[in-house]
Amino acid sequence: MKDLYQTIIERLSSTKKVLVTTHVRPDGDALGSSAALVLALRSKGIQAKVLLLSHLPTKYSFVFRESEIDWIDVETGFSNDFSVNDYDTLVVVDTGTWSQLPGLKPYVQAFRGTTIVIDHHQTQEDWADEKLVIPEAAATGEIVAELLEQWDVDLDVRIATSIFVALVSDTGWFQFSSTRPFTLRLAAQLIEAGVDTDRLYQLIYQNERAERLLLHTLAMQSLELLADNRLALMQVRRRDFLDTDAGVNDTENLINIPLQIRTVQVSVLLVEPPEGGPIRVSFRSKGTLNCARFAEQFQGGGHHRAAGAKLETSLETARHRVVAALMDHFATDQSL
């Protein structure tokens, strides 16, 4: 693995201008990893900017603003003067699949520079020149941290804070099973570098809009328990967003709530985006279902315990297809 890290370091060291991007609807891991990488590149005298395929979420905006990270927002479309060939290298963090990079594929295919993927998801597509993918990592931020350490990048408080945000976002503040000894040792190093954990906890978990909680209330009212209470299903309809003035980003972590129920082994959330488009389906498991493998039948993917997919159909049809597949799985797998 050391050689793979060194290969990425050599690639980045030989470049002058880097564009960093990540998946649509970026979470804390995506944004924290991107920010840490940009800050590291700057410390090496390399120009770097982030391309965001969705608006910068208010919840995590401090990660970019406090570190003065430059970004391009293309949620409403790419401008006529945008060209990825203005950069030597394109680095994609926290995803390796085209479905998570809507609209970017033609630009990458026309790109004359080097493409690099840094990710921890099981589901991958083989299109990058270099890939640093470590599925056992709790967050992409772990991989970025190791990369920067091997690159002899000084761990200042801004980089440490960015990586810490990445870690806590993908581990539920170190509650999820993906948390490993390396994760906690790294967290300790980041705190020693000056991370203010109390401030970050308040910014991430005690800084929500009322609209978000109203949306969660409506979603929980839709809760269904199926398969002898082992399967939990929630839906967020287009009108729920309109009634609460909430956005799709406000559904983050909503799917984890039903897992508090003792009998529930699998939680599913179906989201009908207010702007239209495919139904977004998220899967979470307490470990008995491989969510990534299950999601692949819907052209999705992710991790063993957390995955997602998009279905080009109505909410009702999506619910029927997902429930039918899960009921079949429950019927054939007696461990559930």
Q: How confident is the model over 156-209, as pLDDT tens digits? A: 999 999 999 999 999 999 999 899 999 999 999 999 999 999 999 999 999 999
Angle between helices 140-150 and 157-171 (to 10 degrees): 150
Among 159, 27, 45, which residue's Cα sits nearest to residue 93? 27
**145 and 275 inside one domain:** no
**Number of domains observed in the structure of the chain:** 2
Q: Are residues 222 and 197 in the same domain?
A: no
Q: What is the pLDDT of residue 336?
A: 43
Residue finishing a domain among 146, 178, 205: 205
pLDDT in tens, 242-253: 999 999 989 989
Same domain, 199 and 222: no
Q: pLDDT value at position 236?
A: 98
| Residue pair 205/213 in contact by the 8 Å Cβ criterion | no
CATH number at residue 102: 3.90.1640.10
231/279 same-domain check: yes
Tell me: do 265 and 303 sit in the same domain: yes
- What single letter denotes the amino acid at residue 244? T
The number of beta carbons lying within 10 Å of the beta carbon of residue 1 is: 9
265-289 tens-digit pLDDT: 999 999 999 989 999 999 999 978 9
Six-digit token string for 238: 């287009």
% of residues, the chain, pLDDT over 70: 98
- What is the torsional sign of CA 324, 326, 329, 331? negative
Q: Give me the domain span that covers residue 230.
A: 210-332
Mean pLDDT across the stretch 124-141? 95
Indicate whether 30 and 168 sit together in one domain. Answer: yes
Same domain, yes or no, for 27 and 161? yes
Tell me the pTM: 0.86
Let me know how long the chain is. Answer: 336
Same domain, 132 and 250: no
Domain end, chosen from 172, 205, 238, is at 205
